[in-house]
Amino acid sequence: MTFKHETWSSSTTFLLASIGAAVGLGNIWRFPYMAGTNGGGSFVLIYILATVLIALPVLIAETMIGRRGKMSAPISMKRAALEVKASHHWQVVGWLGVIAAFLILSFYSVIGGWVLSYIPHTLLGSIHEANKSFVSLSFETLLKSAWSVSLWHTVFITLTVAIVIGGIKTGLEKALRILMPALLFLLIIILTYALVAGDVQKGADFLFQITFSKINSSVILAAIGQAFFSIGVGIGIMFTYGAYLPEKVSLPKACCIIAFADTSVAVIAGLAIFPIVFANNLDPSAGPGLVFVVLPMAFNQMSGGIIIGTIFFLLLAFAALTSAISLLEVPVAWLEEKHKWTRRGSTIAVGLGVWAVGLASALSTNILAEFHPLWFIERFSTTGILDLLDYITGQALLPLGGVLISIFVGWKMSHKTLQEELNINSTIFKVWYFLVRFVCPTAILSVFFTAWL
């Protein structure tokens, strides 16, 4: 029996889904604190260049293989390999994506749960009425409560499963038509508030003032890593979403829109966050605590803080959810196609697996806080489960997937096939082809080796 694939109802829904997959906590949570700890404008400049020259070419390559294979990540990759008479072992690239998506979602759901837990607190005003030390303590208390973190992790993964279980048209498309406009609307509200009540000059200077002396190898590598992490290549998402993409849609144009939207949201998030931070004399280089500690302190000091704080965490929750449903879709699509499971059965099975693995990450800040799985390796001797999964997926699985996609498309697929798929101006094609063959693998490998050597 041949598996019959659903397709996106239009190019607009594909773009909504793909932008939703790219726009997540990586843009609104990770980008601002990465910029804050890596020199502000200097980091932003390298990040934008890395998005255009490295992440975008690989995004196009991955989506192209997905559309050509019209199946889940491993099967599409195997089909593409057999088509060019290459080894079927190339399907390992698709497997890296499936494994990465599963593992990332397991701890992403935990962080998404943290976000959800803040919504009732801000809405009821408990954070607004607290002092700075209490806000910081509240976050620590949340992390140390095995019950609370596990409960919110369960709520988040349940919401994700409830959407994906409906399939492409009934589940993903319906949800994204609500979530994406809502996300944009909430982001505009936060930005407007920041422009009115925040220190816009300091915020803009911090984000856009380039100090070349601050650009060093660590900033460059951090920016490349952020571009790759944010746009979501190498996780199997664009293999999977590309498989649902009709042939008539211009693939390069769609991918350029995705990359532009992803980068724009990250920069707008920075413009919305840093003016508020500077207006309240808070630390922009606070790291991961920027969203969960520093910003609640800022909302605490500002008029309308309860409303704006609630809107901000709703924004974060929507962003987390749009990415989570794309991550869940990757292994679900494989189970449906390879083992002919029903959509409901596949989604529930993967959802339960993600939830179970995610519990280890949820407990890594409390009951399992002293458990370090790789204690015998000096680099990871004090690394907990959540941070270890983050490191392995972000610094190993994603880069390896990106490099192998670049090598396969750049060195195994024929010029004719690529030109047929992309259908773009010959000069633009040559630039893209050069980037995929030489620049992308070199840059991604530099990040990989720096992380592991």
Question: pLDDT tens, 71-96?
Answer: 999 999 999 999 999 999 999 999 99
Judge whether 296 and 135 are in contact, CB under 8 Å: yes
The beta strands (E) that lie in 276-418 are given as none
According to the model, what pLDDT value does residue 39 have? Answer: 85
Q: Is the pLDDT of residue 415 over 70?
A: yes
Given this model, what pLDDT does residue 1 score?
A: 42
* pLDDT bucket at 263, cuts 50 / 70 / 90: very high
- Spatial separation of the C-alpha atoms in residues 402 and 96, rounded to whole Å: 10
DSSP one-letter code for 412: T
The rounded distance, in Å, linking the Cα atoms of 274 and 197 is 12
> CA 213 → CA 210, 219, 409, distances in Å?
9, 11, 37
pLDDT at 43: 93
pTM of the model: 0.94
**HEC sequence for 96-129:** HHHHHHHHHHHHHHHHHHHHHHHHHHHHCCCCCC
List helix spans (H) across 30-173.
31-37, 41-50, 56-69, 73-83, 92-123, 132-144, 146-164, 167
pLDDT of residue 304: 82
pLDDT in tens, 319-367: 999 999 999 999 999 999 988 899 999 999 999 999 999 999 999 999 9
* Nearest Cα residue to 95 out of 74, 76, 78, 77: 74
| pLDDT at position 281 | 86
Alpha helix segments (H runs only) across 364-397:
385-392
Residue with the larger pLDDT of the pair 58 and 453: 58
Compute the mean pLDDT over every residue in the chain, rounded to the nearest whole number: 91
What pLDDT, on a 0 to 100 scale, did the predictor assign at position 5?
65
Q: How confident is the model at residue 232 (pLDDT cuts 50, 70, 90)?
A: confident
> Span 172-179, mean pLDDT?
92
- Span 285-311, pLDDT tens digits: 776 778 888 888 888 777 888 898 899
Q: What is the DSSP string of 402-441?
A: HHHHHHHHHHTS-HHHHHHHH---HHHHHHHHHIIIIIHH
Question: 131 pLDDT band (50/70/90 cuts)?
Answer: low
**pLDDT surpassing 70 at residue 222:** yes
Judged against a pLDDT cut of 70, whether residue 4 lies above it is answered with: no
- Tell me the average pLDDT across 15-26: 91
Instruction: Give the torsion sign (CA, 45, 22, 294, 107).
Output: negative
- Does pLDDT of 368 surpass 90? yes
Tell me what pLDDT residue 402 has.
95
Q: Which two tokens stand for residue 296?
A: 């609640």
User: Across residues 5-27, what is the average pLDDT?
Assistant: 88
Collapsed DSSP state (helix, strand, coil) of residue 152: helix
Residue with tokens 């609370």: 148
**47 confidence band (pLDDT: 50, 70, 90):** very high
Residue appearing with tokens 């990359």 = 259
Q: How many residues does the chain have?
A: 453
Percent of the chain with pLDDT over 90: 66
Most confident among 195-204, 232-241, 428-437 (mean pLDDT): 428-437
Q: Is the pLDDT of residue 231 over 80?
A: yes
* b/e burial code for range 158-170 (CB count within 10 A of at least 16 → b): ebbbebbbbbbee
Q: Tell me: pLDDT of 394 over 60.
A: yes
Q: Is the dihedral of CA 233, 261, 332, 115 positive or negative?
A: positive
Domains of the chain: 11-364+391-452 (1.10.4160.10)
Residues with Cβ within 8 Å of 357's Cβ and at least 6 positions away in sequence, in order, are 102, 103, 106
Can you read off the two tokens belonging to residue 218? Answer: 């660590």
Chain centroid to CA 369: how far? 25
Tokens standing for 153? Answer: 């992790």
Q: Provide CB contacts within 8 A for 353, sequence distance 6+.
A: 102
